[in-house]
Amino acid sequence: MAGVSVGPATGTQLGLILQLRWNLFRNSLRTLRGRLEFVSLALVSFFLGLAVLGAGVGVGIGAYFIVSEEHWEWLSVLFWGVLLFWQLAPLLVASASAQFDFSNLLRFPLRYPAFFLLTLAYGQLDPPALAGLFWLSCMAFGIVLARPAMILWVLPVALIFATVNLLLNRAVFAWLDRWLRRRRTREVLAIVFLLTMMSLQFLGPLAGRWGRRAAPELERFAWAERLVPPGLAVQALAAGAAGNLAEAGLSTALLAAYGLAFFLLLDVRLKSQYRGEDLGETQRAVAAPLSATVRPAWQFPGLSPPASAILEKEIRYLLRSGPALFNLIVPLIILVFFGISLEQSGKHTNLFAHVPDLVFPIAAGYAFLIQSNFVYNAFAFDGSGVQFLFFAPVRFRDVLFAKNLSQLFVTFFETFLVWLGVSIFFRPPGAATALATLAALLFASPLNFAVGNILSLYFPRRMEFGMMRQRRVSGITMAASMGMQVAVLGICGGIFAVAFLLRRMWIAAVVLPVLAGAAWSVYFWALSRVDRIALDRREVLTAELCRQE
């Protein structure tokens, strides 16, 4: 976009698009669902905002004392924290802002400068980006408060550093979206990313074990940190405070060079989209050989043929999804992490060393939380295929029951893996503890299924396999699921705590099965009503799941 000026036409187009988005938001508040979703997102944003505000106060205070004591090397920790949060937080959590596919705008005569600026604007309005910008402002305020004369260096360095983060974030997601359009690349990148995120959990224990021996070797590579954006920002500020204008200017220029490089990467990607790049994976249809045989469908005992077919589909989807399979071993990786920490601490300071009977329930509860996120949007990946469910001679109660049953199989299979991990890295749980944990899962699962089935019909949300950072559920579902998890885990945790304090784990093994029986009664009562709800909501359900964002 070099040499292209943003003229009045571009400004007019930006204004029209902003007005369009505002009208869409205002019109969404005319419906009860829109108002409820806005309120739920506002509540979630309020609590997250409090956390961001508290962290910002801590960052500002930390920057003040670091600059006052002239410990510039510690200032890079704050810059690294902002950069990592800005880049990684959008990958770890679903964005709470409205997601929008910019390629839809290209159907209209939109100028490229407006298309580019809209990409940056939406990126900056993302909650992690707003949090990072707020923390940078707090950091700059703390530095200026400690040394008012540094304001001439703090403001440009903070502004350039924020621009670098914004351009890097947009460039990374633009290229990731391009790579993730293809299934093979999508699964490979997802697994690599998840492995990378989980491997970060081992840095603490490994540093505690080999940190002293590795420190001299790591010092040799300390110079490399000065050549990346956080190190350059700190060098610019330190040199400016010392009056070394040449070094400060050079560091600032190198920091700006990073922004230029990320700008060019983003520009290349967006120009490809603007010119109509097609990333589809559609292949030419090939006629099946006449001798091909049709494999018989699975038939599970006690299930109707339609329910067996749905259950088979869910299991096949699971076995073909690399990220879904990886989720099964995440709790084991966490157990390995705590096992290393336990060995390092000499079995004295680790929490699990003092409460070994609770290791299995805690690990199983963590695994349950990971899998339960998929319950509240059961038709997410069915997409336009949901139309066939209305045409086929199948009841929605059978469809949802089969989906719930597949999720229950996954939950207990993962619980078995957790039991193996606990037995290997800690000690085998007692019979009463194991029975109480299984009863807790049988109590929590049907309640999640009952609420999740209703919310899946009332507030469905389509998801695409090849798109990044989609909200897995609607705002209302997010708030309801959080409340449900807090209530269910609070009840189970309270029962386990009482049993542990009384040293009578059999109390939990007796009480929780009774609660599980009541929970399954509630589940089947709710399941008996989903057919009527699906019929009444068929237009909303198909419209939401069949539309292209």
For the CA atoms of the chain, what is the radius of gyration?
Answer: 27
Q: How far apart are CA 174 and CA 183, in angstroms?
A: 17
Q: 0.85 exceeded by the pTM?
A: no
124: number of Cβ within 10 Å: 17
Mutual angle of helices 506-527 and 475-501, in 10-degree steps? 160
Q: Digits of tens for pLDDT over the chain (549 positions)? A: 444 444 456 677 667 777 777 777 777 777 776 777 777 777 777 888 888 899 889 988 988 888 888 787 788 888 988 888 888 777 655 433 444 555 666 666 777 887 888 888 877 777 888 889 999 999 999 888 888 888 888 899 999 999 999 999 888 888 877 766 665 665 566 666 666 655 655 555 555 555 555 555 555 556 666 788 888 888 888 888 888 888 888 988 999 999 999 999 988 888 887 777 655 544 444 555 545 555 666 777 778 888 888 888 888 877 776 656 666 666 666 666 655 555 544 544 444 555 557 788 888 888 888 777 778 888 877 777 788 888 888 888 888 999 999 889 888 888 888 888 888 777 788 888 889 999 999 999 999 999 988 988 888 877 665 444 455 556 677 777 888 888 888 899 899 888 888 888 888 889 999 999 999 999 999 999 998 988 888 887 887 777 655
The one-letter amino acid code at 66 reads I
Q: Tell me how far apart the alpha carbons of residues 217 and 196 are, in angstroms, rounded to a whole number.
A: 23
Q: Cβ(276)–Cβ(106) under 8 Å?
A: yes
Write the CB contacts of 182 (distance below 8 Å, at least 6 apart in sequence).
Answer: 279, 281, 466
Q: Taking the alpha carbons of 200, 201, 206, 208 in that order, is the dihedral positive or negative?
A: positive
The answer to whether the CB of 468 falls within 8 A of the CB of 392 is no
- Asked whether the beta carbons of 105 and 147 are under 8 A apart, the reply is no
Location of structure tokens 């070094």: 247
Distance CA 500, CA 354 (A): 12
> How far apart, in whole angstroms, are the C-alpha atoms of residue 153 and residue 158?
8
3-state class of 460 per DSSP? Answer: coil
Is residue 235 within 8 Å of 141, Cβ to Cβ? no
The answer to whether residues 463 and 368 touch, using CB atoms and an 8 Å cutoff, is: no
Phi, psi of 381 (to 5 degrees): -100, 0
